[in-house]
Amino acid sequence: GQNIDQPTEMTATEGAIVQINCTYQTSGFNGLFWYQQHAGEAPTFLSYNVLDGLEEKGRFSSFLSRSKGYSYLLLKELQMKDSASYLCAVLDSNYQLIWGAGTKLIIKP
């Protein structure tokens, strides 16, 4: 079966750095996405990785290792507005998106 694993919940302090991990086992791989979802709102796109390495976009970076089936989302200089769920999703060999259950990130002052 296909599986995406993420921690259920993480807590971090305002101004700090946090790394949210995602491991996957899927039938094929055509890219990995990270989405942000604030409580009661729609998911919004953060990043896309298809090749190994680090993609940096402002305070957010996403890393991919295809050989390890592993990705992480790195959030720097945390702000209270970063409190949200972060969803990892993998595009499989049939170009279907497989979603993780999401990681709820709580930011404390």
Partner 1 sequence: NAGVTQTPKFRVLKTGQSMTLLCAQDMNHEYMYWYRQDPGMGLRLIHYSVGEGTTAKGEVPDGYNVSRLKKQNFLLGLESAAPSQTSVYFCASSSGDSGANVLTFGAGSRLTVL
Residues of this chain that interact with partner 1 (CB under 8 A) are: 4, 8, 31, 33, 35, 40-45, 48, 50, 87, 89, 91, 95-102
Beta-sheet strands, E only, within 2-52: 3-5, 9-13, 18-25, 32-37, 44-49
- The nearest distance, CB 33 to partner 1, in angstroms, is 8
Of 12 and 89, the one with the shorter C-beta distance to partner 1 is 89
Tracing tokens 């946090």 back to the chain, one arrives at 18
CA distances from 92 to 1, 5, 50, 59, 79 (A): 12, 15, 12, 28, 33
- The nearest distance, CB 23 to partner 1, in angstroms, is 14
Of 80 and 95, the one with the shorter C-beta distance to partner 1 is 95
What three-state secondary structure class fits 17?
coil
- The nearest distance, CB 80 to partner 1, in angstroms, is 22
